[in-house]
């Protein structure tokens, strides 16, 4: 056997383990949920069946697995293919010695999105991840459909606020609406954190204000708002400073940049920073008494 053939043989020998080949969907946890003796991965495969009966049976089975299925699906939505795996998949396509069946990250994501849709409202914990797939042409339609099924109320708002093709005034108003308290706050915070990075300062500043109104998830929100104190837009810096003040002593990690904002070139940024510093210190002092 030549050296080249030997190299290919060795790679193919270990390829299944690296790629996650086989009946089981290897991206899922080692102990994936099982219903009626059949693993979640197999039920997900059935969602692509041409038989409506098989599809409906699979949907019912996934719902029966409940939150265990949702947790596994969220894990898959966050999975990525490593460079090594991509290179080995390319090698596998170029040979005919061993017939391999594998799925790319994109294919796994589509299956997980469909699985979330089958779970219905139980899949609300997956909404933040699903929103991220709205910006990819390959997954946008499936993600949008799934979001409507999971939570019809919040979907139109998340779709509008994350779509840069809508008018700025509409997107800004939508960000404010998300902070109304009518929607799941964990989901809303995830959406607004993404919107905080928006290229348009009117939209990102409104996201900062909304995060301050909600003042939840401080471990995630405070670092993001603190980073926004260095945004080139004075409008974003103003709202970020004001929002940080609402977190009181929990925002003490932001003090260095708030002090810097206190001498900002923008008068309103300076004002908001001073107010935020007072609120952080006064609340901390009050709590210590």
Q: Tell me which of 158 and 36 has the higher pLDDT.
A: 36
Residue 42 lies in a domain: yes
Position 23 pLDDT exceeds 60: no
pLDDT for position 18: 45
* Tens digit of each residue's pLDDT (9 = 90 or more) over 135-149: 677 888 888 888 888
What is the pLDDT, as a whole number, of residue 31?
77
pLDDT value for 67: 93
Average pLDDT over residues 170-174: 85
- Residue 66 has what pLDDT? 95
Global pTM value? 0.57
Sign for the pseudo-dihedral over CA of 104, 106, 107, 112 = positive
pLDDT band at 192 (very low <50, low <70, confident <90, very high): very high
Mean pLDDT of 238-256: 95
Written as six digits, the tokens of 26 are 């290897």
d(CA 277, CA 13): 62
Task: Domain count for the chain, please give it.
Answer: 1
What pLDDT, on the 0 to 100 scale, is given for residue 136? Answer: 77
Residue 25 lies in a domain: yes
The predicted-structure confidence for 25-74, as pLDDT tens digits, reads as follows 444 555 789 999 999 999 999 999 999 999 999 999 999 999 999 999 99
47 lies in which domain range?
1-114
Residue 178 forms part of a structural domain: no
pLDDT reported for residue 22: 41
**Which residues lie across from 35 on neighbouring strands?**
38
Mean pLDDT of the chain: 83
Contacts of 165-171 with C-beta under 8 Å, sequence gap 24+, read: 168/200, 168/202, 168/203, 169/202, 171/198, 171/200, 171/203, 171/206
Is 46 within 8 Å of 55 (Cβ atoms)? Answer: yes
The answer to whether residue 110 sits within a structural domain is yes
């Amino acid at each position: 056997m030549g050296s080249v053939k030997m190299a290919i043989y060795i790679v193919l020998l270990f390829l299944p383990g690296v790629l996650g080949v086989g009946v089981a969907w290897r991206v899922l946890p080692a102990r994936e949920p099982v219903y009626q003796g059949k693993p979640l991965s197999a039920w997900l495969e059935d969602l692509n069946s041409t038989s409506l009966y098989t599809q409906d049976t699979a949907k019912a089975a996934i719902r029966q697995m409940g939150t265990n299925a949702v947790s596994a699906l969220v894990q898959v939505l966050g999975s990525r293919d490593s460079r090594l795996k991509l290179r080995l998949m390319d090698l596998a396509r170029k040979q005919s010695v061993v017939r391999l069946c594998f799925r790319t990250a994109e294919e796994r994501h589509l299956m997980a999105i469909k699985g979330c849709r089958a779970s219905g409202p139980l899949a609300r914990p997956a909404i933040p991840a699903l929103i991220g797939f709205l910006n990819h042409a390959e997954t946008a339609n499936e993600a949008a459909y799934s979001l409507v099924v999971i939570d019809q109320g919040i979907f139109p708002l998340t779709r509008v606020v994350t779509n840069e093709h809508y008018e700025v005034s509409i997107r800004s108003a939508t960000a404010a609406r998300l902070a109304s308290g009518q929607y799941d706050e964990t989901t809303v915070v995830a959406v607004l954190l993404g919107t905080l990075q928006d290229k348009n300062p009117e939209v990102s500043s409104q996201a900062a204000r909304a995060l301050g109104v909600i003042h939840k998830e401080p471990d995630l929100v405070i670092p993001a708002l603190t980073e926004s104190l260095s945004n080139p837009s004075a409008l974003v810096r103003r709202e970020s400073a004001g929002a940080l003040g609402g977190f009181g002593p929990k925002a003490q990690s932001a003090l260095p940049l708030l002090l810097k904002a206190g001498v900002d070139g923008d008068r309103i940024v300076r004002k908001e920073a001073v107010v935020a510093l007072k609120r952080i210190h006064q609340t901390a002092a009050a709590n210590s008494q």
